[in-house]
């Protein structure tokens, strides 16, 4: 992440914790998606408006994550989000989860593809959205 990342705080709740006392692996993506929603609103593209308008959708077509340190209940953490690539019909996002001491707990990535909802087929990413994403991207 060479550019300044978007930051979104989160606290793992009891609901997030598994029997081993750490964050259940799949729940990480719920927190990442919360950060993604906040990010999209920040850059002027709130997801509820995109969905209601129905002109295009941005489903996730690929994810990956690496868990580096155990995440515990009530631990104050920060999701750092940066756009890694923007192309004709999609974009990638890298996430870093850190604590106040800058320790890295997890990394993840998602790949989003722009589709026409009715046809369920790939379509071009709107140019105005592409411009909005560039502020948090190396692809300026």
The predicted pLDDT at position 136 comes to 83
pLDDT at 30 over 80: yes
Active site residue 18: yes
Residue 140 pLDDT class (50, 70, 90 cuts): very low
Alpha helix (H) residue ranges in 43-126: 47-53
Write down the mean pLDDT value for the chain.
94
DSSP 17: B
**Coil/strand/helix, residue 83:** strand
Max Cα-Cα span within the chain: 47
Q: Give pLDDT, residue 1.
A: 45
Domains of the chain: 6-134 (3.10.129.10)
For residue 3, what pLDDT band results from cuts at 50, 70 and 90? Answer: low
Q: Per residue in 104-120, pLDDT tens?
A: 999 999 999 999 999 99
Residue 1 or residue 34, greater confidence: 34
From 2, 16, 18, 66, the catalytic residue: 18
pLDDT of residue 139: 53
- For the stretch 54-96, pLDDT in tens is 999 999 999 999 999 999 999 999 999 999 999 999 999 999 9
64 has which bridge partners? 109
């Amino acid at each position: 992440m060479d550019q300044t990342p978007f930051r979104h705080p989160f606290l793992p709740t009891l609901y997030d914790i598994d029997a081993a006392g750490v964050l259940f692996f799949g729940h990480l993506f719920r927190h990442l998606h919360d950060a993604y929603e906040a990010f999209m609103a920040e850059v002027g593209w709130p997801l509820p408006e995109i969905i209601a308008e129905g002109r295009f959708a941005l489903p996730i077509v690929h994810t990956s994550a690496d868990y580096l340190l155990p995440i515990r209940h009530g631990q104050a953490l920060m999701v750092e989000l940066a756009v890694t690539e923007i192309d004709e019909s999609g974009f990638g996002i890298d996430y870093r989860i850190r604590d106040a001491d800058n320790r890295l707990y997890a990394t993840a990535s998602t790949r989003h593809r722009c589709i026409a909802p009715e046809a369920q087929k790939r379509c071009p990413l709107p140019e105005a959205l592409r411009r909005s994403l560039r502020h948090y991207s190396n692809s300026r």
